[in-house]
């Protein structure tokens, strides 16, 4: 473990990243819990309820007014899949004290505010209050129902559901409408208690200075909580190769079709193992110099986008494109052809070097984004070491063409998903 | 080169220069950062379809500014993306209603990237074959937006709000209009609008201003001055129709509700800031109306609002998802009427102003945001630090004056409803 990590309580880590280039300080609380069918919706609702009101702020308007007075401090909540875990994050960010006219303790006030919201919610008799619950449930249900509006995201979620049926990774990150509807004040309270007792927790501060006795304050909150059965945030079953390629069609009243191809990768796992897959994916379909962009888009003029993305930890690679349904098979064949070229090592030195340069440039740029650094470390808890962007950059520079070819050879087609217009072919 | 230095009282400073070619240059140095972000742009967007050069009037197909943006990346011996690939920079471009910008972001080899940017934007290469290839790609881009409810709800509203102003037309044009584009038309537009007199270069990040200026001086090719006149049609004060609806594959209806504002001259920055503060007071997260609409289940976290304005158009737009868009629109109208009657809450004004100040300071964290704000300076002529200056100076009375632009008789409600199964 890095000497930068502070142990706050059992399974609770603190991390302060000093960075004096920003005008703001950012504090995030990241809770990692296993992704399970029965708890996905409950856990996903928690950060939104917790950051909308609290003991000191009876409703969200009072809370927002306080944030406005704290010079536009911002609070936000998010839910992400992280391997086979669910990552619940709550963050506050505020301008540094030196920019205020009347306060020398703005950062401290903001930090106390978020801590209070997480540990002292609006609860009575072992249940969240009905008004708060119904409001956030309604928003969560509308969010889930609204996902169909953006077809590119919808199509990618659909293929993941198909590829990982019955597995933790196939569960929608916010649960289903029915699961949200079933939540009560009591079940949410139990989920909150479970989060405080069992989640692996990473508290991160990025800014000029750590607020006075910050980690001690967090430790005090955890003192009365019995921490046991802590989540192993390395939970992650690799993507199993398909015995037979599965093809899934769906019809909708749309003008443009969507094609998504899901692949399993034999290379998977943490940053000590899977970085060549990052480079492979980038050469294959990551940037304008990539095989997919230059061939499927530029040479064949089949689409506006055709891009590859890899979830290395899971050993999953996706290619997605927006195409006319008549061209979907042509595009799919060319995507597979380009994969074969990657596997045979027939990509050029220029493409390989461009990719290393592009990834290196992006990694160096991470230090210029506060939210980027926060996200970076929150998504790196599975590594044995606390790798910085600079550490990964050094590893990237050591990757060879052979490493990339090896990564490509392990990539196997698993599932094809096609979203087709109604006037398209009969499936 | 005429050079001015602007200093703020919160530790930032920037340089503004005018090159002898007419190119305007804005640079804000961030020595503690690893990266830099540069935009090379022209005051040429999707609304510039009718214009005259030295008195000669021309009308071009809709979507040509965006088409030109795509095509400029290509040259006789390869494309700009390939050149950037050799440096590792992230490169892109965008076309909006009133401008086209070419940009890159990098954390190494900034000057090599700047050389590429300045070179390819000044080196057009269009042929019949490459134009035809692009028609396929952009055709798919247009189809993608046709299926995007968020995009359609906005453009349907603009179509119902503006009778003649070209802001009503999709930035990429239509598959029919782009079919009319050929290499000759592209050259015509390029020669008209890609003149340094009409262009700007905005940079923020870890760069050396003097070195940039020296490079620019060597790379910019001065062109003969032309009398360029953008011809905008007469636009009535009234909206075309108050309600418009389209069925798409959605589950929850999407809405876009807008107020049309009469505008002739470009709006001052102060007026724009006052309007933004006003909107936050009417329906921002801390307002009584927002609380009511959320508690009654009428809006969710997708709700947002903006002051949308540019040459010859201005409107206040509220958008989001709702099971009852008409109720949301009616509630906004009722609140506007109430505030006109009862006045604005001073305490809320102070809180909103504090929020805006914090956000403005936060903005200086991001080199992308700074560079985009410098583009805004180049487009409208104000000083970058004016925003914070005005935020400190404006009064609740200044904000109240902007309430008068919200006319409940000049509104449009655009709704995307679910398809009937």
State the Cα–Cα distance between residues B195 and B2, nearest whole angstrom: 19
Q: Give pLDDT, residue A425.
A: 61
Q: Which helix (H) or strand (E) holds B35?
A: none
Rg (CA), chain B: 23
What is the per-residue pLDDT across B8-39, written as a single tens digit (0 to 9) for each?
Answer: 999 999 999 999 999 999 999 999 999 999 99
DSSP result, B192-260:
HH-SGGGEEEEEEES--HHHHHHHHHHH--------EEE------SS-S-SEEEEEES-SS-EEEEEEE
Is B296 among the residues known to form the active site?
no
Beta-sheet pairing, B411-418 with B243-248:
parallel
Domain B243-418 sits in which CATH superfamily? Metalloenzyme, LuxS/M16 peptidase-like (3.30.830.10)
Of residues B33, B44, B17, the one with CA closest to residue B212: B17
**Could you say which residues from 286 to 305 on chain A have a Cβ atom under 8 Å away from some Cβ of chain B?**
287-289, 297-298, 301-305
**Chain A (57-76) residues lying within 8 Å, Cβ to Cβ, of chain B:** 59-61, 64-65, 67-73
Mean pLDDT, consecutive 10-residue segments, chain A of 427 residues?
A: 81 95 97 97 98 93 95 96 96 95 86 96 96 96 91 94 96 96 98 98 96 94 94 93 95 90 97 96 94 88 88 96 88 95 97 96 96 95 91 97 98 96 67
How many angstroms separate the CA atoms of B335 and A166, rounded? 49
Contact status of A194 with chain B (Cβ, < 8 Å): no
What would the pLDDT profile of A255-270 be if each residue is shown by its tens digit? 888 999 999 999 999 9
Give the residue extent of every domain in chain B: 2-230, 243-418
Closest CA to A317 of A156, A158, A85, A151: A156
Q: Do B354 and A138 touch (CB under 8 A)?
A: no
Q: Domains in chain A and their CATH numbers?
A: 5-223 (3.30.830.10), 246-421 (3.30.830.10)
What backbone phi and psi angles, to 5 degrees, belong to B171?
-55, -40
Hey, is the C-beta of A360 within 8 angstroms of any chain B C-beta? yes
CA distance A230 to A13: 12
Which chain B residue's Cα is nearest to A148?
B250
Q: Which of A72, A139, A255 sits opposite B300 (nearest CB)?
A: A139
Q: Which residues of chain B are within 8 Å of residue A24 when distances are taken between CB atoms? A: 361-362, 365
Token duo for residue A404: 């990339």
Residues B2-230, CATH architecture: 2-Layer Sandwich (3.30)
Q: Which of residues 132-151 of A touch B (CB under 8 A)?
A: 135, 138-139, 142-143, 145-146, 148-151
Kindly determine whether residue A368 and residue B367, on different chains, have CB atoms separated by under 8 Å: yes
| The two three-digit tokens of residue B388, written as one number | 């914070």
Name the residue in chain B with its Cα closest to that of A297. Answer: B137
Given A143, A149, A297, which is nearest B250 (Cβ)?
A: A149
User: Which candidate, B48, B45, B144, B155, places its Cα nearest to that of B416?
Assistant: B155
Q: How many helices (H) and strands (E) does chain A have?
A: 15, 13
Give how far Cα A370 sits from Cα of A4, A27, A218, B364, Å: 17, 10, 21, 12
Residues B233-243: tens digit of each pLDDT: 999 999 999 99
Which positions in chain A touch B352 (Cβ < 8 Å)? 68
Mutation test of the interface with chain B: which of A23, A137, A360, choosing the one with the most B Cβ atoms within 10 A? A23
Q: What pLDDT is stored for residue A103 in this prediction? A: 67
Q: Give Cβ neighbours of residue A141 (< 8 Å, ≥ 6 apart).
A: A177, A180, A181
All residue ranges of chain B with pLDDT < 50 are: none
Q: How many CB atoms lie within 10 A of CB B265?
A: 7
Name every chain A residue with its beta carbon within 8 A of the beta carbon of B150. Answer: 149-150
The chain A residue lying nearest B286, using CA atoms, is A61
Alpha carbon distance B416, B155 (integer Å): 11
With an 8 Å Cβ cutoff, is A344 touching chain B?
Answer: no
Test the B interface: residue of A22, A61, A298 with most B CBs within 10 Å: A61
Residue with tokens 């919160």: B10
Same fold, B2-230 and B243-418: yes
Q: Do B32 and A20 touch (CB under 8 A)?
A: yes
Catalytic residue from among B29, B69, B134, B319: B69
Cβ pair A58, A65 in contact under 8 A: no
Q: Which of A22, A62, A71 to mutate to test the interface with B (most CBs of B within 10 A)?
A: A71
Task: Considering only the beta carbons, identify the residue of B137, B351, B357 that sits closest to A297.
Answer: B137
- Mark yes or no for CB contact A350/B86 under 8 Å: yes
Contacts of residue B294 in chain A, CB cutoff 8 Å? 60, 135
Query: Residue A377: enclosing H or E segment and its boundaries?
Result: helix A370-378
Nearest to A315 by CA among A350, A359, A281: A281
pLDDT at A1: 43
Report the distance separating Cα B290 and Cα A59, nearest Å: 12
- Digit-coded pLDDT (tens) for B285-330: 999 999 999 999 999 999 999 999 999 999 999 999 999 999 999 9
Cross-chain residue pair A252–B249, CB shorter than 8 Å: yes
A 149-188 near B (Cβ less than 8 A): 149-151
């Amino acid at each position: 473990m890095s000497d930068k990590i502070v142990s706050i309580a059992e399974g609770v880590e603190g991390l302060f990243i000093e960075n004096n280039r920003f005008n703001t300080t950012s504090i995030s609380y990241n809770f990692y819990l296993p992704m399970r069918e029965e708890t996905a919706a409950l856990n996903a609702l928690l950060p939104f309820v917790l950051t909308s009101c609290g003991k000191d702020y009876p409703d969200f308007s009072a809370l927002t007014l306080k944030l406005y007075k704290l010079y536009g401090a911002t609070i936000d909540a998010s839910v992400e899949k992280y391997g086979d875990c669910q990552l619940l994050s709550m963050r506050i960010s505020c301008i540094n004290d030196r920019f205020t006219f009347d306060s020398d303790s703005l950062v401290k006030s903001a930090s106390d505010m978020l801590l209070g919201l997480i540990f002292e919610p609006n609860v009575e008799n072992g249940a969240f209050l009905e008004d708060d619950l119904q409001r956030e449930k309604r928003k969560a249900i509308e969010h889930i129902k609204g996902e169909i509006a953006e077809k590119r995201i919808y199509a990618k979620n659909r293929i993941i559901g198909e590829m990982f049926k019955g597995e933790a990774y196939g569960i929608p990150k916010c649960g289903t409408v029915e699961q949200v509807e079933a939540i009560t004040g009591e079940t949410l309270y139990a989920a909150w208690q479970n989060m405080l007792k069992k989640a692996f927790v990473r508290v991160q501060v990025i800014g000029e200075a750590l607020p006075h006795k910050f980690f001690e304050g967090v430790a005090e909150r955890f003192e009365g909580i019995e921490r046991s059965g802590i989540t192993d945030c390395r939970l992650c079953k690799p993507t199993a190769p398909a015995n037979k390629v599965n093809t899934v069609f769906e019809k909708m009243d749309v003008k443009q079709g969507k094609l998504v191809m899901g692949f399993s990768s034999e290379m998977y796992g943490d940053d000590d193992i899977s970085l060549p897959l990052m480079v492979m994916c980038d050469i294959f379909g990551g940037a304008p110099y990539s095989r997919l962009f230059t061939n499927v888009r530029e040479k064949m003029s089949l689409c506006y986008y055709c891009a590859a993305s890899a979830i290395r930890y899971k050993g999953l690679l996706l290619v997605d494109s927006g195409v006319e349904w008549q061209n979907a098979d042509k595009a799919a064949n060319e995507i597979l052809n380009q994969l074969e070229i990657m596997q045979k090592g027939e990509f050029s030195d220029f493409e390989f070097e461009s990719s290393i340069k592009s990834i290196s440039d992006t990694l160096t740029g991470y230090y210029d984004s506060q939210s980027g650094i926060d996200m970076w470390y929150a998504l790196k808890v599975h590594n044995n070491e606390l790798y910085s962007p600079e550490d990964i950059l050094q590893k990237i520079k050591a990757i060879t063409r052979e490493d990339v070819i090896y990564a490509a050879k392990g990539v196997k087609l698993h599932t094809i998903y096609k979203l087709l217009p109604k006037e398209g072919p009969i499936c | 080169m005429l050079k001015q230095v602007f200093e703020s009282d919160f530790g930032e400073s920037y340089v503004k220069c005018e090159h002898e070619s007419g190119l305007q240059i804005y640079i804000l140095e961030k020595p503690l950062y690893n990266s830099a972000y540069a935009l090379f742009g022209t005051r040429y967007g999707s609304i510039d379809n009718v214009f005259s050069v030295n008195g000669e009037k021309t009308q071009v197909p809709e979507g040509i500014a965006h088409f030109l943006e795509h095509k400029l990346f290509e040259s006789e011996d390869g494309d700009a993306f390939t050149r950037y690939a050799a440096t590792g920079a992230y490169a892109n471009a965008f076309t909006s209603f009133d401008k086209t910008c070419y940009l890159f972001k990098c954390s190494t080899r900034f000057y090599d990237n700047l050389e590429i940017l300045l070179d390819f934007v000044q080196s057009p290469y269009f042929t019949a074959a490459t134009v035809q290839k692009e028609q396929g790609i952009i055709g798919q881009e247009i189809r993608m937006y046709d299926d995007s409810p968020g995009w359609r709800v906005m453009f349907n509203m603009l179509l119902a709000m503006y009778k003649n102003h070209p802001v009503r037309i999709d930035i990429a044009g239509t598959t029919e209009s782009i079919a009319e584009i050929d290499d000759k038309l592209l050259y015509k537009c390029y020669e008209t609008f890609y003149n340094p007199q009409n262009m700007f270069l905005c940079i923020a990040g870890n760069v050396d201003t003097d070195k940039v200026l020296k490079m620019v001086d060597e790379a910019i090719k001065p062109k003969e001055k032309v009398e360029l006149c953008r011809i905008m049609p007469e636009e009535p004060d009234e909206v075309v129709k108050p309600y418009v609806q389209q069925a798409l594959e959605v589950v929850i209806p999407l809405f876009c509700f807008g107020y049309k504002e009469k505008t002739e001259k470009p709006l001052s920055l102060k007026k724009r800031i006052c309007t933004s503060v006003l909107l936050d007071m009417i329906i921002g997260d801390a307002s009584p109306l927002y609380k009511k609409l959320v508690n009654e289940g009428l809006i969710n976290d997708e709700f947002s609002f903006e002051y949308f304005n540019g040459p010859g158009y201005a409107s206040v737009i509220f958008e989001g998802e709702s099971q009852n868009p008409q109720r949301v629109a009616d509630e906004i109208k009722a609140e506007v009427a109430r505030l006109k009657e009862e006045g604005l809450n001073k305490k809320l004004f102070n809180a909103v102003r504090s929020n805006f100040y914090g956000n403005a300071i936060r903005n200086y964290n991001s080199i992308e945001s700074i560079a985009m704000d410098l583009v805004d300076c180049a487009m409208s002529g104000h000083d970058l630090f004016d925003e914070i200056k005005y935020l400190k100076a404006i009064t609740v009375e200044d904000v109240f004056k902007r309430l008068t632009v919200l006319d409940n008789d000049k509104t449009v409600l655009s709704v995307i409803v679910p398809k009937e199964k």
